[in-house]
Structure 1
């Protein structure tokens, strides 16, 4: 009689419905990975029985495997929400134990740690005193509310185009920053002292001969001083400064007494290497310097490499850490432990750690979440199929019962 086969079919169909029901129930769970029931047929072992006469004794659920396909990514208004696009898992600290998840719903706790709804801490790489990421053992990531100290300018760069058509100024005409007839063109830029005070550096360009220009500077409107003499080749490229072809970045020092702010001496290199001379009007291409005033924290953000960036009111930003992702050779071997978390097992193998976007690790997106990879339409169709299978197995039992009743009624 086929009661055993039908009973195994009922059990397998019920298990399949459990898996489908769990998928449907978690259709709105962020980062959820759907399961799939995998069936196997069952045969009685026999040494002498011919394989041609084997009918089988039913079925069984061989395994329920997680499907780690990519879920859809939707945007949110929370900058601490993070979605993984590609391979990898967030590495979470659960009171010293490590678990893994694709759920990127994070927020800052009262100590500044990035945690999920269950209080598990997101882990990653820390930074050293120079703000460089140290890819050592990951640890819980903490965002610190602080300010940024002022930094004095150490390098200033001005890339200008000098008009070769302008006439040279005679040697007997003395330079005077207050008389525009004594110089050809001028521009200015801001610099910062050690206390973060802003100062104005005015630069004057005076053509002395074909392909030769003198440069002067005035600090905060004070006395003008000569920086250097520039020599250009016939292609308009800067060839040398004061006859020196190797040093196109003269050093300028402003004494502390001249600044009257209580700051230290301001010494910086003035990069003139990109200055050119062409037959077009004077213009400034680039103008940069590396100093800044002090700033207060204005917010945090996360870039696609997982770097945690602190932004400040002085337009500066600092890295306070970087998210570390874990990846497994066999993610289907991970153990689901609830709370949308997975635990490492012997079947999954040990995790390989890396930063988002490196090697074959996926990138991360701030202000976004990965939805469950559940196709509700497909799950509802699977549910109908599983229901029909359950009904068919029940019908098999009913038919076998009717046959047995017939045999019992024989007289």
Structure 2
């Protein structure tokens, strides 16, 4: 009698209900992917290789295939929550404790779409299972180079100070201004009538102490301007009598423009041996000075000051760009992750530095991945070897920080599938009941 068909149908319907139930249970699990039970019919092999009228002997579960479609992306405002928009998997792995600066991967690398990451007590970016996120690690200067992926670790120490070594100054002086110098002592920084304009910038010594540097612009003749400078009120260039001397003299071309352009002009400098600058850059040295709080700053030598962007036109004085590359010490205050997976640490001194970059992996056959629990999969022979690269390259998706990928389970569809699976179960049970009635009839024949 054909009990086997009905029994296999009951087993298949039961497993289908299990798959649907698991999908429904993970409808709110970030990064989870819906599974689909796929079935195959069963036929007995004919002894002579023929049998066009064979009757099937039931059904079997061929596979449970996960559906790697994109889930919705939900903002969370947590910078360490990361969603992948497109193809790819995060790579995570356990790490051996106490490995210090050279962490070792412990166990197999796993692959996940769940971007709920945190920082553990050792500074590693980990998921809820304690597995570290893998990627490229930046060097001390924040330079990232492709390398063997390793656990990403955020810096725990702050950033060291950097003494100023370069100043970029771009400004326009008014060609209509009157001549204000030189005076008996060249310039009096407390008398605005002895100079035309002034601007200031904060520089830093090797200890990260701020030094207030002020520039004074004094017109001495048509198209000729002296540039004086003070650091915390101390003139940067003085003669033997202690009188302030300019650090540079700018001779603008008669047609305006900058002194290093095609129209002519020169920049004379008086520190670092003196000379004429051909590219607008001049040397600047700052001696030790006393700050308003009474502390003494360190000397800053070898500064390169760029005056090549200066112009003289018939408009009001204005500074369009003033920057320097020094900064004080800073502590880590936060991190950001861009769409290419670069993790940038932000420090209290306003500086930022790349500390690593997330590496993603893709597979030729993602349905060949084996579920390992914890929203992760492991590679198998069926999935093929992973192809690894940074987000946004090739067919890799982009990352979105402060967001998570929702489960791709469609609850409405799953509930409909549940009703269908329940009816299939009832129908298979009915075939067994009918076969039982037929067998009972045969047994009762006299």
TM-score, scaled relative to structure 2: 0.82
- Unaligned segments of structure 1, at least 5 residues: none
Q: Within 2, Cα distance between the matches of 1:123 and 1:170?
A: 64
Q: Does 1:151 align with 2:162?
A: yes
Equivalent residue number for residue 296 of structure 1: 331
Two-structure CA RMSD over aligned residues (Å): 2.8
**Cα deviation digits, residues 245-289 of structure 1 (max 9, x gap):** 841111212234788835244321112233233332221112111
SS of 2:33's equivalent in the other structure is coil
Contact in 2 for aligned 1:175/1:183 (Cα 8 Å): no
Contact in 1 for aligned 2:287/2:298 (Cα 8 Å): no
**Structure 2 vs 1, CA of residues 171 and 191 (structure 1 numbering), >3 Å: closer, same or farther?**
closer
Equivalent residue number for residue 193 of structure 2: 181
SS of 1:10's equivalent in the other structure is helix
In structure 1, which of residues 164, 175, 178 is the aligned counterpart of residue 175 of structure 2? 164
Q: Does 1:387 align with 2:422?
A: yes
Q: Within 2, Cα distance between the matches of 1:233 and 1:326?
A: 62
Equivalent residue number for residue 18 of structure 2: 18
Q: Within 1, Cα distance between the matches of 2:384 and 2:373?
A: 20
Equivalent residue number for residue 216 of structure 2: 204
Q: Within 2, Cα distance between the matches of 1:170 and 1:292?
A: 35
- Count of paired positions: 410
SS of 1:199's equivalent in the other structure is strand
Contact in 1 for aligned 2:227/2:247 (Cα 8 Å): yes
SS of 1:61's equivalent in the other structure is strand
Moved more, 341-350 or 315-324: 315-324
Contact in 2 for aligned 1:76/1:369 (Cα 8 Å): yes
- Unaligned segments of structure 2, at least 5 residues: 95-105, 236-243, 269-275
Moved more, 398-407 or 126-135: 398-407
Q: Does 1:356 align with 2:367?
A: no
Contact in 2 for aligned 1:193/1:266 (Cα 8 Å): no
**Structure 2 vs 1, CA of residues 162 and 83 (structure 1 numbering), >3 Å: closer, same or farther?**
same
Q: Within 2, Cα distance between the matches of 1:242 and 1:116?
A: 59
**Cα deviation digits, residues 269-311 of structure 1 (max 9, x gap):** 1122332333322211121111011223333443433333333
**Structure 2 vs 1, CA of residues 320 and 158 (structure 1 numbering), >3 Å: closer, same or farther?**
same
Q: Within 2, Cα distance between the matches of 1:170 and 1:296?
A: 46
Moved more, 88-97 or 288-297: 88-97
**Structure 2 vs 1, CA of residues 230 and 385 (structure 1 numbering), >3 Å: closer, same or farther?**
farther
Q: Within 1, Cα distance between the matches of 2:17 and 2:200?
A: 75
Residue 343 (structure 1) shift: 0.8
Moved more, 266-275 or 29-38: 266-275
In structure 2, which of residues 227, 232, 254 is the aligned counterpart of residue 215 of structure 1? 227
Residue 168 (structure 1) shift: 4.9
SS of 2:23's equivalent in the other structure is helix
TM-score, scaled relative to structure 1: 0.88
Equivalent residue number for residue 346 of structure 2: 311
Question: Relative to total residues, which structure has the larger strand share, 1 or 2?
Answer: 1
In structure 2, which of residues 146, 150, 153 is the aligned counterpart of residue 139 of structure 1? 150
SS of 1:190's equivalent in the other structure is strand
Contact in 1 for aligned 2:360/2:389 (Cα 8 Å): yes
